[in-house]
Amino acid sequence: MKLLEVLNPKSIALKMDINSKDELLIKMVELAELSGKLLNKEDVLKEIIKREKIMSTGIGKGIALPHAKTNSVEDIVGAFVTLNNSIEFDSLDGSKVDVAFMIIGKENNVGNHLRTLSKISRLLNNDNFRHQIKTTNNPNDIISIITNFENDMI
């Protein structure tokens, strides 16, 4: 599955002013809702928060990868955000977060969910990729950057 099947351009927000982890999670679910794939926004948010309480999805290097599985989505869906300011996220390496990519998958499609998370993690661990996404101001450029790096991964 290509990431652009998961990430709708409407679900991308760049250089946002967010002050907390909870505010970021709420905003990202709202962005994911713009894809038209959410069946129940409140349930999706509840599942994201529940997953986050198990263990932080702040994976290090200023990156958060919040995710959950629920039947409150039609299909796997994502949201992408960059922040003007770094926020506390209880990251595994203790660093603050300024880039977040959220994935919400269907409960009955765990394999696809895990493959998508793995692909996003590989992209976000690439220094050049992170630099490019942090310096752009245009959501369409994010789509191009993801497409170019994803094609190079094949």
pLDDT of residue 52: 94
Give residue-wise pLDDT tens across range 5-62. 889 999 999 999 999 999 999 999 999 999 999 999 999 999 999 999 999 999 989 9
Sign of the C-alpha dihedral, residues 1, 76, 49, 55? negative
Could you give the CA distance from residue 61 to residue 95 in angstroms, rounded to a whole number? 7
* Domain 3-153, second-level architecture: 3-Layer(aba) Sandwich (3.40)
The model carries a pTM of 0.92
In tens, the pLDDT along 107-121 reads 887 777 788 888 888
Question: Domain spans of the chain?
Answer: 3-153
Supply the Cα-derived Rg of the chain in whole angstroms: 14
